[in-house]
Amino acid sequence: MGCGKRSLTTAAVALVCAITVLGAPGMAYAAPANPTPTPTPPAAPTTKSGKDLEAVREKLDKLYHDAAVATDAYNAAEEKTGKQSTQIVELAKAIVKGQAKLDSLQDRAGAAARAQYRGGGLPPEAQLWLSDSPQEYLDGAGRVRQGEHGTKGLLAEMKRTQQDLAQYTKDASAQWERLEANRKTRAAAKKKIKQRIAAAEKLESQLEKDEKKRLAKLEEDTAYQAQTAWLSSGVLDEINSKASAQGKKAVQYATAQVGRPYVWGAEGPKSFDCSGLTSQAWASAGHPIPRTSQQQWQQLERVDIKDMRPGDLVIYFGDASHVGMYIGDGAIVHAPRPGRTVTITGAGSMPILGVVRPDK
């Protein structure tokens, strides 16, 4: 998820003023000449109706869903930033190495040019006449030709090195621009995540203690109803595939994290977001997969729900903003959303987009 965190919803606490009726049947009160204002009794909170709490749940769901989408964007930008930083470092090393090579080639070319200048002042006829023997002249002429070829080779290599340096510099500049763009994307996503989570937490803090309990029960009931509807379709009767060896390892890792807190952008070992849990589970099984739920949906092999097996990833919502790992018997293990911990729940408790398989 990045990852996502489908859960509960929001509203505001409604307050009503209690109205005090003064007087008793059969008695009348004359207004005093200088009436004293009647103190207004303190506002008494009313218990939210089921409809009000449902509105709260829906609003919380939306806030946490938006935070999940932003978390996926943050995780993707974070991953790209890391890769681009590594590439820039490698390009910088290549530029330093290339410049050193160019300096060496220039020194060699300069030495060759100076040698040719010192020995090339006489015409060939004079060199032959002054030489002690024709063979020495021929040997010298051969060395000159070799030197000329070597110089040409040096110049060609210098040209290639200069071209490589220019390309390295251009690539480094482009990577730097992309790095800055991803940093901005990451910063914007981080800001949105914090805003949505803060709004959700504020909304929940406005609920009375009893209302929070009722809201939690409403969330459980909603998830149970969705799971019941999913199972009633008979889908579980068709799911009978066994986990692969790597799938078993991934499931063991994921279920061992039950109880650890959800933290956006986290991928263990003490906390996780939804895709942080699934990606680390498969990494522990020796099979690295993409970091975010959207990347997992886009890049991994898709399978029909009826062919689902433990270790497969169930992707949720139309924008692939949440992911859980199927563990068998119609259940998944997942990191739900801020304020919750890694838990096991029904695979059909949220709207399923599809299923992907990390290992073929």
Known catalytic membership, residue 149: no
Known catalytic membership, residue 334: yes
Helix axes 50-119, 209-232, angle to 10 degrees: 80
Contact 52, 185 (CB under 8 A): no
What's the full length of the chain, in residues?
360
Q: Which of 17, 149, 274, 287 is catalytic?
A: 274
Between CA 13 and CA 150 the distance in angstroms is 87
What's 65's DSSP letter? H
Which residues, including other chains, have CB under 8 Å from residue 281's CB and lie 6 or more apart?
250, 251, 253, 254, 325
Between CA 55 and CA 201 the distance in angstroms is 15
| Residue type at position 330 | G
Long-range contacts of 42-47 (CB under 8 A, 24+ apart): 42/18, 43/15, 43/16, 43/17, 43/18, 44/15, 44/16, 44/17, 44/18, 45/13, 45/14, 45/15, 45/208, 46/14, 46/15, 46/16, 47/208, 47/210, 47/211
What's 259's DSSP letter? T
Helix axes 134-205, 50-119, angle to 10 degrees: 170
Q: Pick from 317, 359, 312: which is nearest to 333 by CA?
A: 312
Known catalytic membership, residue 274: yes
Q: Pick from 353, 229, 212: which is nearest to 296 by CA?
A: 353
Between CA 317 and CA 256 the distance in angstroms is 26
SS3 45: strand
Between CA 280 and CA 273 the distance in angstroms is 11
Write out the E strands in the chain. Answer: 15-16, 44-45, 301-303, 313-316, 322-328, 331-334, 343-346, 352-357
- Give me the active site residues, please: 274, 322, 334
